Structure 1
Amino acid sequence: MATTKTWLVTGATHGLGREMTEQLLRRGDRVAGTGRDEEALADLTRAHGDAFWPAVLDVTDTPAVRQTVDRAAAALGRLDVVVNNAGYGLFGAAEELSDAQVEHQLATNLTGSISVARAATPHLRAQGGGRIVQVSTYGGQAASAGGSLYNASKFGIEGFMEALAKELAVFGIGVTIIEPGGTATGFRSNARLGQPLAAYDGTPAAAVRGLTTGTRPAPGHPVKVAAMTIAAAEQVPAPLRVVLGSDSFRFVHQALQDRLADVAHQHEQAGRADVSPPAPIRRETLEKEQEA
């Protein structure tokens, strides 16, 4: 018989967070769900009673994040899995974005997720283990014109989580980064755009201007993405990265290949910056290392 788990999910009012929360509650788990809209959480309380613990939370409010995580842990007794899902997309050329937009994007997607992870870590460590799941995107590995600040927030949180995984492994705490592709979760309708500048008309960065009104169907199925995220959160040992969606795999794979190709030929040049330059590496040795 499966053991009931206790989850904390940020951004549980809509999109992937909502779908995950509903799937978890239907299977009998307990969920502490947070969001900025109290009414959007009320139906889950009515339907599931004490199995759902709601809290209004804006993850950009760092003191409130810690207080909410502490209250959830106290109310539910433990937190087995903490899912960082709250976030949104800000798009437009970097020059088109306002200072306030830049600050809010980073405060939500980057600092907000860091705050949740830091607040949850003492609880997971004290209980002897657990899992932190970070919902990212292929945009955390593959950058694109018009996505500079969104990419910055996702590249940043992936770097943080990758280092955090190394810090927390000794305590039995796993960290998993989820990298979905385009999924019909309402992401486009919630995205925000910068103020268009004529200088960028017709350039690659301008392609994002139709993001919020576009009708192109997303390839990812939200029910499947949510279910696979839940499954990844329970996989042992914890996978560091889970790519979901054929488009995500294509973008991530290509970005990693391009990144490696950009630096692979620089071995000897890089070594010349050392106090004692290393011996030249033979090409066939480098090729074998890359294949491995």
Structure 2
Amino acid sequence: MNTPADTTSRVWLVTGASRGLGRAFTEAALAAGDRVAAAARTRAPLEELATAHPGRVLPLQVDVTDRDAAFAAVRRATDHFGRLDVVVNNAGTLSMGMVEEFTEAEARAQLDVNFFGALWVSQAVLPVLRDQGHGHLVQVSSIAALGGFPSTGLYSASKFALEGLSEALAREAAGFGVKVSMIQPGGYWTDLYTAMRTTAPLDAYTPLREELAKQFADGSVDSDPKLAAAALLTLVDSDEPPLRLLLGSMVYDLAFDIARTRMDTWAQWEAVSRAAEHAVPAPAEAAGEAVTRPQQGSR
């Protein structure tokens, strides 16, 4: 059954809402007077939110890696609230280990949540947002999408994939009045690290692990998740939200350092890059046969 019509507050769908950043996002939306369809694998924390905010929280127990379950959860949310204004694809996990150490099952599990889970939710909400002619889809990416780092290769792969998907999705959805943004958080005090999975270590990487341990021992720059939630509210309140938003000074500085390094490298290898292209007719075209050309930019 739909709740009574309410045009004064927004309706959110937040995945991974039971803890960490997702919980902070949900609480910030509620503090702003909005309503939230709060989705997570664990239902008890969601029931606590619903009790604390009568009529404004719809608890949804769902595993986003299950495509059918993700679509069903979106249907329940729209049936209950009548619409969706802001969707936050936050559900995610962290698996740490050197690339060589990952089993197939471990690699697939990392991509299943961070990439495919976000894909299924995106696919489920797009028809709703498209039919409404408005809505804002926010993908929670990571500092790991800026570059690959030792021991987080598969995590980075999942976030790189999410960003490539989201860039295309933003252009596909723009004509329907739907906005897409990616937030790239640095470190926050959540249970991401305490709940992370690790691979079985190979002895060959012991020296590298020891070096990484020394770096981590120097301390962290992790922050209160409420700061990320405040930034998210600013983002969704904007009439012209950016495609990407960096969260934190450390990730901001790192993004510029990585971009400058890449630009310097591209410039150093410019001659080789340009020499690798010289347009010639397609072999079939030269032979007088019809040619179906790919869209520009595809390979």
Q: Give the TM-score normalised by the residue count of structure 1.
A: 0.88
Instruction: Please name the residue that 1:128 is paired with.
Output: 133
Instruction: Please name the residue that 1:86 is paired with.
Output: 91
Instruction: Please name the residue that 1:65 is paired with.
Output: 70
CA positional deviation for 1:166: 1.0
CA positional deviation for 1:269: 2.4
Pair 1:234 & 2:257 matched:
no
Instruction: Please name the residue that 1:153 is paired with.
Output: 158
Q: Give the TM-score normalised by the residue count of structure 2.
A: 0.86
Residue deviations 1:228-269 (CA, integer Å, cap 9, x gap): 112112212121111111111122111112222222233332
For 1:64 and 1:23, the matched residues in 2 are separated by 26
For 2:178 and 2:209, the matched residues in 1 are separated by 41
Instruction: Please name the residue that 1:266 is paired with.
Output: 269
Q: Please, which runs of 5 or more residues in structure 1 have no aligned partner?
A: 278-292
Q: 1:44 to 1:209 in 2, by over 3 A?
A: farther
Residue deviations 1:122-153 (CA, integer Å, cap 9, x gap): 10000011100011111111210111100000
For 1:142 and 1:111, the matched residues in 2 are separated by 20
Partners of 1:88 and 1:191 within 8 A in 2: yes
For 1:75, which of 70, 77, 80 is the aligned residue? 80
Q: For residue 48 of structure 1, what is the amino acid of its counterpart? A: H
Moved more, 214-223 or 247-256: 214-223
- Larger Rg: 1 or 2? 2
Moved more, 93-102 or 146-155: 93-102
CA positional deviation for 1:208: 6.6
For 2:72 and 2:221, the matched residues in 1 are separated by 36
Matched-pair identity in %? 38
Q: For residue 41 of structure 2, what is the amino acid of its counterpart? A: R
CA positional deviation for 1:209: 11
Pair 1:112 & 2:117 matched:
yes
For 1:105 and 1:205, the matched residues in 2 are separated by 24
The list of structure 1 runs, each at least 4 consecutive aligned residues, that deviate by more than 6 angstroms after superposition, is: 208-211
CA positional deviation for 1:28: 1.4
* Partner secondary structure for residue 54 of structure 2: helix
RMSD: 2.1
Count residues with an aligned counterpart. Answer: 274
Q: For residue 274 of structure 1, what is the amino acid of its counterpart? A: E
More helix by proportion, 1 or 2? 1
